[in-house]
Amino acid sequence: MKRPAVILAVALFLLPSVLMIYRILWLGYPVFPAAPGKVWQLTMDGHIKGGGNEFTALIGLPLTYGSSIVVEERIRSGSLNFFRFREGLNQVGVWSGIPDEGQEFIRYQAIIQVGSQRLSGASSPEIERNPEAARDAEKMLAKRLVGHLRGLPPRARLRAVAATVQGSWRTPAPEAQDLQKWEVLREQQGRLPALLLLLRAADLPARSVQGLRLVESVTTTLFTWVEVWTGREWERMQPDTGEIYEKSTALLPLSTGGLPAVRVLNGEVSEVRWVLSQQVISQWRIHFDRIRRSDHLLDRWSLFQLPPDFQGTFRILLLVPIGALLIVALRNLVGFPTFGIFMPVLMALAFRSTGLVYGLGIFAGVVFIGYLVRRRIERLRLLLVSRLSVILTLVIICITIFALIGNKIGLREFMAVGLLPFVILTMIIERFFVITEEAGIREGLWTAAGTAAVATITHEILHLEPLQLTFFVYPELLFAVAALEVLLGRYTGYRLSEVIRFRGVRGK
């Protein structure tokens, strides 16, 4: 093999390799775009009752951060306006306007991917301030109760405070008078504010969170927990029981920092319902929104930026070079005979609309009828252009008849026959006639069978969704396809069909 061809092929292999490594390691692209991934679908429904005045509903929404990705958000606002904004650590969706008479229906829907890390928690201890209701006397009481814990490591200090929720105080136990005051405080302020006060008195940054447990469920109430910063990470605990959750426990925060997840001005939101269900989708869908919002150069020039109507076309178009590579391999290595070089690829694309079985049947029928007519007009000794024009007209007539038959019997595949490449069919009929005249009917049928076989294999490859998605996400792989075509183009050895054909001679 010539050295320039090898150098070109290596260069064509290296280019997509570098681009793919950059996309995967630095931009976070999936290694296997078609691989299934488990995600959660969150749906929030609410019914609005307005009093004819300006209405505003502020509802906490999930936020993309850390190892969680929120994709495919859908909003239904009816006659109301919708916008979102960041409020501290929260993302808030706002539905505002004057509701129509009766009830107005709003909805929020999103797909959420949860990574291997915990879903909740941030990288720095951002917390809400101490509640204004906490008086100095109450803060001093909390410090007396946990003052002896400050020498402990943060994790041990947290567990000691968590034990107090169940009434277990670390030795030395506080004075009975302080314990009595503490119980009164818990009854007056509530368990959650009292626990936050105690944690902060122990020098443990803490914040309250409202959200959902990531389990398949339908609920009208949100779950509340406390996040505590232990110096390296946030740990989560249940405020009523003092239970500290395992790291694997998946919780979805909707409102952090003491703000209620649902706030309404000048109206009422009734029947607010959150629905969580688990789904399995391809990895490329998870990264679709992230890529479209990215500012990276490769993301801005990604095929994901195309309008949705054109994306489906390019998913198929990018596999056409794979079909050409297959033809090169089958012709140069195996020895498949075909009518033309790229005709099987065009036929395979047409079979996507007609279906493989019907497409092959129509292909065989049109070629057979065209062959019979071609034999009849041979006696007229027409010039080449006139002869091909007559055959082309015949092909169009056949396609029209098939479409009419399909309409009568309700067979859509026959009506899609117009997508067959009629000019290519015209040339096939002429080539088929010439081969049968020069080499016999057997050779003509063998070439037709080879063409149908290659078109069938190409059709099946074009239908492989994992392959479509891989080339759509990484279109630079086309350079690798070109490299293989260069290498196959330099092959001058025996074909498999020739080895079988001359096996008797080789034995002698």
pLDDT at 275 over 90: yes
How many CA atoms within 13 Å lie on the side-chain side of 57? Answer: 26
* Length of the chain in terms of residues written: 508
507 within a domain of the structure (yes/no)? no
**Closest C-alpha to 252, from 206, 210, 211, 209:** 211
Q: Which phi-psi region, left, alpha or beta, contains residue 115 (left: φ > 0; alpha: ψ -120 to 50)?
A: beta
Same domain flag for 265 and 245:
no
- On whether the CB atoms of residues 452 and 428 are closer than 8 A, the answer is no
Question: 6-10, 92-96, 340-344, 358-362: lowest mean pLDDT where?
Answer: 340-344
CA 100, distance to chain mean position in Å, is 36
Structure tokens at 20: 């793919």
DSSP 349-365: HHHHHH-HHHHHHHHHH
Containing structural domain, residue 56: 36-120+261-288
Same domain flag for 204 and 271:
no
Residues in CB range of 421: below 8 A, 6 or more apart: 343, 346, 347, 350
In this predicted structure, what is the pLDDT of residue 88?
Answer: 78
- On whether the CB atoms of residues 371 and 437 are closer than 8 A, the answer is no
pLDDT at 420 over 70: no
In this predicted structure, what is the pLDDT of residue 289?
Answer: 65
Same domain flag for 329 and 434:
yes
Residues in CB range of 396: below 8 A, 6 or more apart: 422
> In whole angstroms, what is the distance from residue 488 CA to residue 499 CA?
18
Choose the final residue of a domain: 205, 226, 252.
Answer: 252
DSSP 112-173: EEE-SS-SS--SS---PPPPTT--HHHHHHHHHHHGGGTTS-HHHHHHHHHHHTTT-PPSSP
Same domain flag for 336 and 278:
no
**pLDDT tens-digit series, residues 36-94:** 777 889 999 988 876 667 888 899 999 876 567 787 788 988 888 899 888 878 889 99
pLDDT at 116 over 70: no
In this prediction, residues 307-331 reach a mean pLDDT of 82
Say which CATH number the domain at 96 has. 2.60.40.2250
Same domain flag for 100 and 158:
no
- Cβ of 195: how many Cβ atoms within 10 Å? 26
- On whether the CB atoms of residues 244 and 236 are closer than 8 A, the answer is yes
481 within a domain of the structure (yes/no)? no
pLDDT at 108 over 90: yes
> In whole angstroms, what is the distance from residue 377 CA to residue 191 CA?
97
Question: 115-119, 151-155, 256-260: lowest mean pLDDT where?
Answer: 115-119
Same domain flag for 370 and 466:
yes
In this predicted structure, what is the pLDDT of residue 407?
Answer: 82
- Cα dihedral 424, 430, 434, 436, rounded to 10, equals 80
Choose the final residue of a domain: 252, 278, 297.
Answer: 252
**pLDDT tens-digit series, residues 204-241:** 888 899 999 888 889 988 989 999 988 888 899 998 88
In this predicted structure, what is the pLDDT of residue 92?
Answer: 92
489 within a domain of the structure (yes/no)? no
193 within a domain of the structure (yes/no)? yes
pLDDT at 184 over 90: no
97 within a domain of the structure (yes/no)? yes
Same domain flag for 92 and 181:
no
393 within a domain of the structure (yes/no)? yes
Same domain flag for 172 and 275:
no
Same domain flag for 404 and 364:
yes
Question: 28-42, 119-133, 253-267, 415-429: lowest mean pLDDT where?
Answer: 119-133
In this predicted structure, what is the pLDDT of residue 1?
Answer: 53
Q: Position 4: which residue type?
A: P
Percent of the chain whose pLDDT exceeds 70: 88
Query: Containing H/E element for 68?
Result: strand 68-76
Same domain flag for 235 and 114:
no
In this predicted structure, what is the pLDDT of residue 121?
Answer: 46
- On whether the CB atoms of residues 305 and 292 are closer than 8 A, the answer is yes
- Quote the Cα angle for 232-241-139, to 5°: 70
In this prediction, residues 473-488 reach a mean pLDDT of 89
Same domain flag for 47 and 87:
yes
Question: 189-203, 352-366, 473-487: lowest mean pLDDT where?
Answer: 352-366
Diameter over CA atoms, the chain: 120
Domain count, the chain: 3
More confident residue, 315 or 482: 482
In this predicted structure, what is the pLDDT of residue 126?
Answer: 52
Structure tokens at 39: 């995600």
230 within a domain of the structure (yes/no)? yes
**Closest C-alpha to 270, from 102, 97, 41, 84:** 102
- On whether the CB atoms of residues 334 and 454 are closer than 8 A, the answer is no
In this predicted structure, what is the pLDDT of residue 119?
Answer: 43
506 within a domain of the structure (yes/no)? no
Same domain flag for 70 and 145:
no
